[in-house]
Amino acid sequence: MAKKKHIAFFLMRVVIALFLMIILFLNLSSNAQLQETAVQLSTILRGDDSLLTVLRIIFSFVLLAITILLLLKKPAVISVGAFLATGLFAMLLVFCVVVMSMSFSAHVVTFVVIWSALLASVAVLFRFRGVLPVLGKFT
């Protein structure tokens, strides 16, 4: 039973990494929805779209770093990656709803993907919570 549990959490980590890699690919290929998101974020921060390229590059590095952290073998590194992935997907969900004013009925696939990735990253974070100093106190 323990072997199946480890395989299930490994598969969850791989699925989260695949979600992150898809977002990275769409970001680097100038997807219209991610481009609009970067433009709106740049407008919020600076007032114009002058930070567009910088935001896309930083977002790409963050996505790649979280993916690498999730796929390594050490539990402490996995927990940090799961913590960052949980924060990233929660931020994406809030950003989609609040800033971009997306409705659930118009973007069902986007919301389902973000919610499923968020729940998977929370499950992985809960599994490896003992090695994080903050969450380790609650185990």
pLDDT (tens digit per residue) in 41-96: 778 777 777 777 788 888 889 999 999 998 888 888 888 888 899 998 898 888 77
pLDDT tens digits, one per residue of 92-133: 888 777 766 666 666 677 778 888 888 888 888 888 877 766
Query: Position 93: which residue type?
Result: L
Q: Are 100 and 90 a contacting pair, CB within 8 Å?
A: no
Structural domain includes residue 138:
no
Structural domain includes residue 137:
no
Determine how many CB atoms are found less than 10 A away from the CB of residue 80.
20
State the residue for tokens 């929660």: 90
Domain that holds residue 117: 2-132
Q: How many domains does the chain have?
A: 1
Structural domain includes residue 41:
yes
What confidence score (pLDDT) does residue 136 get?
56
- 128-134 long-range contacts (CB < 8 A, ≥24 apart) are 128/75, 128/78, 128/79, 128/82, 129/79, 130/75, 131/75, 131/76, 131/79, 132/76, 132/79, 132/80, 132/83
Structural domain includes residue 139:
no
Query: Position 91: which residue type?
Result: M
